[in-house]
Structure 1
C-alpha cells in the first residue's frame, strides 16, 4: 500500500512536470510570436492590397473644357473621360447661365464619368436671381458636391460671404461643401486685413477672420511657387511652407479639413516672340508640389489649370496666356502626362492617409530656413513609438494619427535630380507596419526598424501598429 502511494505520487509529480513544461513552452512560443520580426511576402501584400477598399483622394482642376470643345453631348462625354484618364476626379465649373447648354452638358458628362463638380459662383453670387438660378440648375445633380462662392476674396467681403453661405445652406441643404478658395500669403496686404490681430501675422488674421465670419466647410487656398526665374525657387517654396503651416494650424484649430491648388500651368505673355511669365513645372517639381501639400495634411488638391487660354475666348476672365494640360484647341500637352503619372502614383496608395489627422513634423538634414517656416510647435524630435529617424538625405516627415494609430507621410525633400535617399525609422519596440507608395503596398511586416528608399520629391505613407 505504501509502495502504491509512492507510485501515485511519482506519477502525479511527473504529470505536473509535463504540464509545467508544456505551459512554459507555450508561454515562450507566445512571447516569441509577439516579439518576432517578419517580412511579408509579395503574395501576402498583394492579398492585403486587393482586400483594402480605401478611399480616393479628390484631385481637381480649374478651367475645364470650354464651349467650343463641347458642341455635342458626345464631345462633352469624351472630354470628361479624358479628364478621368488623367486621374482627375473633380472639376471646378463656372456657373455660366447664358451658355448654350454648356453647363447642362458638363453636368451630364461628369455624372457619366464619375467626376465630382464644384460650382464656382464668382460671377453670380452678388446677383440674387442669378445666384438662385445657378444653385437650382446644379444642386440636384449627383455629381455636384459643393460650391466655391467666390475665388480669392478680400477680407472686406467676409461679412457678405457669410450671409451668402447661410442662404446657400438654407436653399441647397447641408450636404454640400461651401467655401471660398483663398488668397496666398504673398497677396497684397490690403486684401488680407486692415489691422492684424495681436500675436498674428496679417495672413494668419486673414484666415482667422474668414473662418469666423464665413464658416467654410473646408479651408482652401492657392500658392504657386514656380516663376520664370529659377533662382527664386527657394524663396517661393519658403512662402509656400509658411502658407501651408498657417492653413494647417487654422484648420486644426477649427477642425476644418484643408486643401490647395497645385501649379500645373504657366501664365504670362509673349513679347516679340519670347515668353515672359511663370514657368511650367517639370515632373520632379510637380511631384514636389503635390507631396508638400499632402505632407501637411491636405485632404484634396487641385490643378491650376487644365484647359489653356490664349486670349481668343470672349469668356476669358483674366487677360494673357495660360498654358496647362490641354491646349485651347484641345490637344494634350506634356503637362497632361506629368499630371497623369503623378496622379496614378498617388491613387495607388488608395487614400490610406485620408483617415489620419496631421499632428506634427519630424525633419532630417532640413534647411534651417525651411524649418523656421514651419510653426515651432509642430517640430518634434520623436513621435509616440517613433524614437528617431535617420538618413544622409533630406526628409520632411508628417506625423499623423488615426484612433491612436500612428502614420508617417515621408517626403524626400530633395528638389534636384539625384539618386534615391534612404530613411531609417527607429521604433521603441517591434511593431506591425505597412508602407504604401507609388506601386501600392510596397512593404509589410513587423520590426523595430523600417527603411524606405525614395527618389527626390517622392513620398510614401507608413502605417505603424
Structure 2
C-alpha cells in the first residue's frame, strides 16, 4: 500500500478542518496549531476574503512547518468545458512551500466521480506533486446520498474512477446517548477497499457536539476514535473541527478545540496529548503493512473477516479488544491492540505459539503497540 503522507517523509499526517477565520490568521495562531500536534490545515472560507488571505494562511503555515490545503469552490464547481481555467485557479498557490493541494469536494455522490476525475487529471497536469483532496461520505449516509445501491459500490466506483492518491472519509460515531452501530463496519469497508486498491486512507475524528444529536467526546472517546483508526490501518488522522464553527445551513455546533472568541477549550489539551502519542506510534505503523485484524470477544458488527492467528500469535484472550496486525518485508512485525471500550479498562492476554503469554492492560480507548520480532523466532 502506498504511504504518501504529503507532510514530509518523517511525519504522520495530522490534519484539521475549520482553521482560524480570516481575522485570526497569524503566525502565532498557526504556532498554536503546530503546538497542538497538527501537521496540516484544511482551508475553509479564507478565499472569501481574497487570494491574499489564502496566501497569508500559507505563509503562516510555512512559518510553523505546516502544510495547507487550499479550499476554493471555483475549483470544485468547474464544469468539464471549463478545464482550461484550472491552471489559473491553482497557479497563485501551487508554488508556495506550504502548499499541499486543493480541496476538490467534501462528501460527493457517485454521480460526481467522473467529473472530479477529469478535474483531477487537469489539476495534476499543472501540479503533479499536489493533492486533489476528496472526502467521502460515511456508511450512515445511505443510497440516495451515495448514488449507489451499496456502500461497497460507492467506494469501488470512487477508487476505480477517481483513483485518489489518498482516500479520506468521515464518520462521527458519538451520538448523545449511544454510539452509531456501524462505526466498525465503516472502518472495515474502507480498510478493505483501500487494501485492494493499494491506496492509503485518512479519516476524521469527532471533537465536538453538533445538531443536538452528537455529543462532545471526552478524552477517552477521542483516543478511542484515533486508536481504532490506527488499528484498521489509517495512515492519517484529521479532526472535525479545530476552531468552533458558526452555525450554518441549519446545522448547530458546540465548542471544539478553540472557541469562537479564540480561547482554548479543554479539548485542545486533550487532543494535544493524543497527538503527542500519535507522533510516536503513527510513523511506526505508517511504515508497516496492515494485514488484518485479531479480535477478542464478539466480532464487531460489520467486520466481515478476522484472522485466526498472526505469525507467532495464536489468540487474544481476556476483555474485548481488537488488534491491527502489521507486517514488514512480508513477515509479521507488530500488533496494535486497542480497548474496544471508551468507558472501562481492559486486560488482554496475547497468546503465543511457543513463547510465554503476555498480558497488557489498557485504559479506556487506549491502544498499545506490541512488536513481534523475536517472539517465537519471528
Q: TM-score, normalised by structure 2?
A: 0.89
Calculate the aligned-residue CA RMSD, in Å. 2.1
Q: Is the 8 A contact 1:193 1:205 kept in 2?
A: no
Q: Distance in 1 between matches of 2:351 and 2:283?
A: 25
Q: Distance in 2 between matches of 1:318 and 1:63?
A: 17
Secondary structure at 2:327 match in 1: strand
Gaps of 5+ in 2: 1-8, 374-378
Q: Is the 8 A contact 1:390 1:424 kept in 2?
A: yes
> 1:370-419 CA deviation, whole Å, 9 max, x = no partner?
2x41022xx1221122122222x211011111112421111011221x3x
Q: Match of 1:286?
A: 222
Secondary structure at 2:106 match in 1: coil
Task: Work out whether 1:457 is the aligned partner of 2:355.
Answer: no
> 1:165-194 CA deviation, whole Å, 9 max, x = no partner?
100110111x22323100111114112134
Task: Work out whether 1:81 is the aligned partner of 2:24.
Answer: no
The offset of 1:361, in angstroms, is: 1.1
Q: Distance in 1 between matches of 2:191 and 2:341?
A: 22
Q: CA 1:115–1:142 in 2, change beyond 3 Å: closer, same or farther?
A: same
Task: After TM superposition, list the pairs within 5 Å mapping 1:37-436 onto structure 2.
Answer: 55-70=10-25, 76-94=26-44, 96-100=46-50, 101-127=52-78, 128=82, 131-173=86-128, 175-194=129-148, 196=149, 202-228=150-176, 230=177, 232-233=178-179, 236=180, 238-268=181-211, 276-311=212-247, 319-349=251-281, 351-366=283-298, 368=299, 370=300, 372-376=301-305, 379-391=306-318, 393-403=319-329, 404-416=331-343, 418=344, 420-430=345-355
The offset of 1:96, in angstroms, is: 4.6
Runs of 4+ in 1 over 6 A off after TM superposition: none
Secondary structure at 1:373 match in 2: coil
Q: CA 1:349–1:317 in 2, change beyond 3 Å: closer, same or farther?
A: same
The offset of 1:317, in angstroms, is: 6.8
Q: Is the 8 A contact 2:70 2:103 kept in 1?
A: yes
> 1:71-129 CA deviation, whole Å, 9 max, x = no partner?
xxxxx100000011111111101475452522111101111111122223445322447
Q: Distance in 2 between matches of 1:98 and 1:326?
A: 21
The offset of 1:131, in angstroms, is: 4.4
The offset of 1:147, in angstroms, is: 2.7
Structure index of larger Rg? 1
Secondary structure at 2:126 match in 1: helix
Q: Distance in 2 between matches of 1:357 and 1:87?
A: 24
Q: Is the 8 A contact 1:95 1:134 kept in 2?
A: no
